[in-house]
Structure formats: C-alpha cells, structure tokens
Structure 1
Amino acid sequence: MPLYMSLLVEHSLSPSMIRGQGYDGASNMRGEVNGLKTLIMNDTPRAYYIHCFAHQLQLILVAVAKKNDTCGWLFEIFANLLNVIGVSCKRRDMLRQSQAQHVAQALEVGEIDSGTGLNQELGLKRPGDTRWGSHFKCLLNIINLFPSIVDILVYIGKHGSSENKFKAQIVLCSLESFDFIFMAHLMLTILGYTNDLCVALQRKEQDIVNAMGLVNSTKNVLQKMREQGWETLLHKVTSFSTKHKVEVPSMDALYVPQGRSRRFVEQATNLHHFRVGIFFGSD
C-alpha cells in the first residue's frame, strides 16, 4: 500500500471520497509520473488538482518582474550583494554589529522608538522564487540595513582580498545610486501590497469567491498607486537618498544610467525616465 494511502487509512479517510487536492507546484507534488497529484488521480480520477493560489501568484510576480530590464538589474544587484556579504559568517557578524551600532545611535538621537518587538536583529537571506514573501522580506531588510550594508562593503572594498575587494566596490557603486534606491522603494511598495494579498490567500478558511475579491482589491490599490502615487514615492526616495548622502539628480537633466551603458536606455530626462519609463512602465 502506498505511503500516502496508508496515511489516509490511518486517519479513517477513504480515498474514494477525495474530490480535490491542493498544494504547490513542486515536481514531487504535481509531477506527471510519480507526483502525489498523479498517484492520487490514478486511484481517484475525480479528485481535481488545484495549484495553491499564493504559490501561483508568487511564481507569476517573480517571472513578470524578471522580464523587466530594470527589475532584472535590481535582482542582479541583490544576488551580487548576497554573494559578497551573505557567504561569510564573519561578514554576517560584522553586519549584525554594525546594525546594533546604528540602532543605538538612532535611539540616542530619537530617530526611532524603543519597545517590545521593535528594532529586531535583521539579516540577509537569499530569496527563493517558490517561497512567498522572501523577495519582499529581503528587500525590506536591505532598505532597513542600508547604512550597515554600506559600512561592510566599504570595509571589504578596502581590506578584503583582491577578488572580494573589487566585487564589493562594484556592488557599493550600484547601491549608492539614485537608480537603485528608486527601484528598491518602488518594488518594496508593490511587493508590500501583493504580500498582504498572499497572506490572505494562505488562510485555510479562504474560498475562491473571496479570493477573487481580494485579487481585485489589490489590483485596484496598485492602479490607484500608479495614478496618484508618484509624488509620494519620489518624496520617499529623495528623503532616503538625502539621508544616506546619495546624490539626487535634477529631474530636468538628461538621465545617465548607473552601472549600465547608455546604449541600453532611452535618451530622456530623469523625470521622463523614472516617471514614464519605470513608474508608469510605458517602455
């Protein structure tokens, strides 16, 4: 008797009564040869398979985002950053120490509040395309750890081995650019809305009618952001850049890409590039 069948029998569940099955799309679950979906449907053909709503949304969002050149550039920086800092226990310890120092300084001048659950230790973990919320959490931590990350990259860029030294300098050059900060805040806002949707979709009591309503609500929020959120986003990006001593370009000046050739971008003003080309996504 197959293992999954034994488990059903153990809990007094009859396979003949199965009408539906739902989980993520991993090969060991939905595989056409030996996946759990196939094994169950061989015995119970009427058991419809439903791909987890939240998992589907995660895969779609990541796939669509990576097809966009600017988003792909952002994710590539994430990967390079994690390769420089995340692969070493020593560097992760340095990041924690730097974070603690910045938190202490912020508390001293009253920039942040203290209390239960606040100012938790953060880290950098590699996001996964099948783990919902991992890209959102990674991006959120990078924004919150920005000054500490810069400290570590500067240290590696000065005192690391030859290979790591140049990698750190290249990553730091991209991080300390208005392009990166703009894209990071834009994606953080978008992924924040979709993350709320996913949390709702993963509730056990969720039904398809309510799920579609939640999807429509999220689409409306994103559309409203697209129509009315430019000034708010630009203010956040400008404030963050000024705080961390990153040059804010004049919106009337011609756009000069950071870390990429001008051959791959349209010749336009900064305002047109960031607002029309990226925020509205017309290109």
Structure 2
Amino acid sequence: MVNLARVSTTLAKHSKQAYHIGGQREYDGFMAHVSGRANVAQQQRAHEQFTEFGLALSKLRGQLYDGAGNMAGRLNGTAAVICRNHPKDIYDHCLSHALNLAIVSCLNVQQVKNMWCVLKEVGLFVSNSPKQQSALEVQIDTLPFVSCNRRKLVDLCRTRWMARRSALVAFADLYVPVVASLEEVSQGRHWSPDSAGAAFTLLFSITQFCFICAFCISKQVPEYVHGLTTPLQKTNKDICNAYQEVKTLTETLHRVREDIDIYHGQ
C-alpha cells in the first residue's frame, strides 16, 4: 500500500456583487505530493500548478487548511513557507474543520464517548451480516408503528462530526426495530452462540438510561448547528444575513442553557 498525500485544488471566481460570500467554484483536480520535504514540496507544486492556470502566487490573499502540522505548522508548515515568500497570503484554520473540532471538544464527556462506541458496534453488527440485516428488515416490516422508509443504519463518519447527524437520525428512526431484532438474535434460536452473545450485550447497552440520555442530547446538538452550516456553504449567501443567522443561533443556545429544565421538560 502506498501512502500518498493529495490536496484538491479549487478555483473560486468571485462576483463583484457586494455583501455576498464566495462565488463560482470550479474543481481543477488534485495536487499530488512530490518527493522531498513535504512543506517545500507542496509550495513548489502549488507554484507550478498556479502557473499552469495562468495565476501568480503573489496575488493570493488566503490559505485554508486543517490543523495538520505539515500544512499549518507555525515555523515550517506549507502555509508558513508560502507566507514567507508571499506575506499577503494569510493562513487561517479551515472553518469547517474548526467547527468540527469545537463540537467534538464540547461533547468530550465519557458517557457520550461510550454512546458513540456502542452506536458504532451496533452498526457494524447489523451491516456486516446479511442475515442480521435481514432480521432488522423483518422487524421494520412487521412492527405496525414504524412509519419511516429507512431500511439500514448509517455508518458513523470517522472524521467529520457533523456528518454523524445522519447516523443519529437513522438510529433514532429505527430504534424500536433494532431493539426488537437484537432481542430475537439474543434468544439464540437459529443463531450462532457468538451472534447471540453479541446481540445480548448490545441490547443491554442501548436500553440503558445513560445511553438513551447521551444519545438524545448528542442528537439534538447538531440539529441546531446543521440548520446554520448548510446554508452557509452556499456560494451566493448574503454576508449580512449570515451574520444575523449566527447571532440568532447563539442567542438560542444561550436560552437553552439558561432554561435547561424547561427545555428538557418539553
């Protein structure tokens, strides 16, 4: 297996219309890693690729990377190397990645970590076996009060915390069929002892109050943020409206924290 670092290149053509974020973006391919010191090599490759586009690095006015040392290192990262030659090309931490890190830090609670581990194990238990997936689908078709159209659980994203929202929503929709299918498997009829034992352990875990509480809270957090991050990714977003939406979200979260008993009592 060859481990190669590749950086995607996207050109943004900004409109002259005031107060709008972004503009037309066009994907232009990958900037493959070359041999040598990673930071210098990336800077040289960037210079070559921008030359191919008919652009000059001296006209760049911003760099956005995640917090990896080879890209964002203060002394010898790619951003620092480029800034030494082009001081106006200011580096900033990728805002999407920063939001992801902030949410992870806010939910750095052991009970929440345990919930994620259990949720991951349930997803793997069902998805890795066609027989267990079939058992879940039987419960979805049999139970009269399951109204969603979902047939499968969603895998947890390993890197983007906000992308886990889909997994949380899917698990919430299929919670009752999942419990019913695990109960059936744990009884051991027509199932191997290993499957029955694993199903019993998972069933015990997802029916505990601590798991349910951590799950409900974790599911609610991205519901607030998702309503903001999705519109902000649009290229024609008005910056004044975006600022107002951020302010509204902040005020809403403050009200939830101040009236937490009322919030959970609803």
* TM-score of the superposed pair, with normalisation by structure 1: 0.64
Note the alpha carbon deviations across 1:10-39, whole angstroms, 9 max, x for none. Answer: 322211101101243356654679865355
SS in 1 for 2:222: helix
- Structure 2: segments with no counterpart, 5+ residues: 1-40
Q: 1 or 2, which has the higher helix percentage? A: 1
Is the CA contact (8 Å cut-off) linking 2:115 and 2:214 kept in structure 1?
yes
Letter in 2 for 1:73: N
Aligned equivalent of 2:256, options 225, 229, 234: 225
User: Quick one: which of 134, 146, 157 aligns to 2:175?
Assistant: 146
CA deviations on 1:176-227 (whole Å, 9 max, x unpaired) are 2333333322222222102223224433456887666544422221222234
Residues 1:193 and 2:224 are matched in the alignment? yes
Q: 2-side partners of 1:127 and 1:96: how far apart?
A: 23
- Residue 43 of structure 1: how far off its partner (Å): 4.1
**Quick one: distance in 2 between partners of 1:204 and 1:23?**
19
Change (3 A) 1:7 1:145: same
Q: Does 1:44 align with 2:86?
A: yes
Q: Amino acid of the residue matched to residue 170 of structure 1? A: T
Q: 2:149 aligns with which of 119, 130, 148?
A: 119
**How far apart, in 1, do the equivalents of 2:212 and 2:233 lie?**
31
Contact 2:66 2:93 in 1 (8 A): yes
Cα contact 2:63–2:79 (8 A) shared by 1:
yes
Question: Does residue 58 in structure 1 map to residue 83 in structure 2?
Answer: no
Deviations 1:55-85 (CA, angstroms, capped at 9, x unpaired) = 211112112312x233223223223323432
2:233 aligned residue (202, 214, 232): 202
Relative to structure 1, the CA distance from residue 37 to residue 138 in structure 2 (aligned partners, 3 Å threshold; closer, same or farther) is same
In the alignment, is residue 69 of structure 1 matched against residue 123 of structure 2? no
Task: Output the CA distance in 2 between the equivalents of 1:80 and 1:234.
Answer: 31
CA gap 1:100/1:202 in 2 versus in 1, 3 angstroms? farther
SS state at 2:104 partner: helix
Whether the aligned pair in 1 keeps the contact of 2:153 and 2:170 (CA below 8 Å) is yes
Contact 1:86 1:124 (8 Å CA) reproduced: no
Q: TM-score, normalised by structure 2?
A: 0.67
For the aligned residue pairs, the C-alpha RMSD in angstroms reads: 3.3
Is the CA contact (8 Å cut-off) linking 1:54 and 1:132 kept in structure 2? no
How far did 1:101 drift?
A: 4.5
Stretch moving more, 208-217 or 14-23: 208-217
The equivalent residue for 1:8 is 50
1:158-169 equivalences under 5 Å are 158-159=187-188, 160-169=191-200
1:75 partner amino acid = W
The aligned counterpart of 2:140 is: 99
Moved more, 74-83 or 14-23: 74-83
Alpha-carbon distance between aligned partners in 2 of 1:48 and 1:206, rounded to the nearest angstrom = 23
Q: In structure 1, list runs of 5 or more residues that go unmatched.
A: 113-117, 236-283
Structure-2 separation of matches of 1:137 and 1:156: 26
Deviation of the 1:89 alpha carbon: 4.3
1:55 maps to a residue whose letter is: H
> Tell me, what secondary structure is at the counterpart of 2:107?
helix
One-letter amino acid of the structure 2 residue matched with residue 8 of structure 1: F
| CA drift at 1:229 | 5.6
Match of 2:160 in 1: 131
Percent identity between matched residues is 24
In the alignment, what sits opposite 1:156? Answer: 185
Per-residue CA deviation, residues 224-254 of structure 1 (Å, 9 max, x unaligned), is 223446455445xxxxxxxxxxxxxxxxxxx
Structure 1 residue 20 corresponds to structure 2 residue 69 = no
Given that residues 5 and 15 in structure 1 are in contact (C-alpha distance below 8 angstroms), is that contact kept between their aligned partners in structure 2?
A: yes
